[in-house]
Amino acid sequence: MLNLSDKSINYLIKKDQHKSLNKIKNMYTYSQDRLMKILMALFLLILIILFMPWTQNVRSKGQLIALNPEQRPQTIQSVIAGRIEKWFVVEGQFVNKGDTILKISEVKDDYFDPQLLNNTQLQLDAKEYSKMSYEEKVKALDNQISALKLSLDLKIQQAKNKVRQDELKVASDSIELMASKVNFSVANEQYERFKTLFDDGLRSLTDLENRQFKMREAQAKLISQENKYLTSKNELLNSRIELNSIQADYRDKIAKANSDKFSAISGKFDTEAAINKIQNQYNSYEVRTSLYYILAPQDGYITQARQTGLGETIKEGEEIVSIMPSKYDLALQMYIKPLDLPLFEKGQKVMIQFDGWPAIIFSGWPGVSFGTFEGKVLAMDNFTSDNHLYRVLVVPSPEGPKWPEQLRVGAGVKTITLLKNVSVWYEIWRQINGFPPDYYKVNSTMIQKDEKK
pLDDT digits (tens, 9 = 90+) for 210-224: 777 777 887 788 888
pLDDT digits (tens, 9 = 90+) for 146-195: 998 888 888 888 888 888 888 888 888 788 878 878 887 887 887 777 77
Q: Are 68 and 442 in contact (CB under 8 A)?
A: no
Q: pLDDT at residue 343 above 70?
A: yes
Structure-model confidence comparison of residues 350 and 46, the more confident one: 350
Residue type, 330: L
* Average pLDDT value for residue range 103-116: 86
Concatenating the DSSP letter of every residue in 272-292 gives HHHHHHHHHHHHHHHHHHHTT
pLDDT digits (tens, 9 = 90+) for 77-103: 888 888 999 999 988 899 999 899 999
Reported as type and span, the H/E element at residue 185 is helix 116-200
Say how far apart CA 313 and CA 150 lie, in whole Å.
71
Which residues face 304 on adjacent strands? 322
Query: Across the chain, what does the average pLDDT equal?
Result: 79
Q: Given its phi and psi angles, is residue 177 left (phi above 0), alpha (psi -120 to 50 degrees) or beta?
A: alpha
Reported as type and span, the H/E element at residue 357 is none
Contacts 24+ apart (CB under 8 A), 205-212: 211/187
CA atoms within 13 A of residue 280's CA, in its CB half-sphere: 6
Q: Are 376 and 348 in contact (CB under 8 A)?
A: yes
pLDDT for position 23 = 59
pLDDT for position 223 = 83
pLDDT for position 28 = 53
pLDDT for position 276 = 93
Structure-model confidence comparison of residues 451 and 305, the more confident one: 305
Residue type, 447: I
Q: pLDDT at residue 256 above 80?
A: yes
Q: pLDDT at residue 31 above 70?
A: no
- Select from 321, 262, 414, 423 the least CA-distant residue to 93: 321
Structure-model confidence comparison of residues 116 and 12, the more confident one: 116
pLDDT digits (tens, 9 = 90+) for 51-67: 666 565 677 888 888 88
pLDDT digits (tens, 9 = 90+) for 217-243: 877 888 888 888 888 888 888 888 888
Q: Are 416 and 351 in contact (CB under 8 A)?
A: yes
Q: pLDDT at residue 450 above 70?
A: no
**pTM value surpassing 0.75:** no
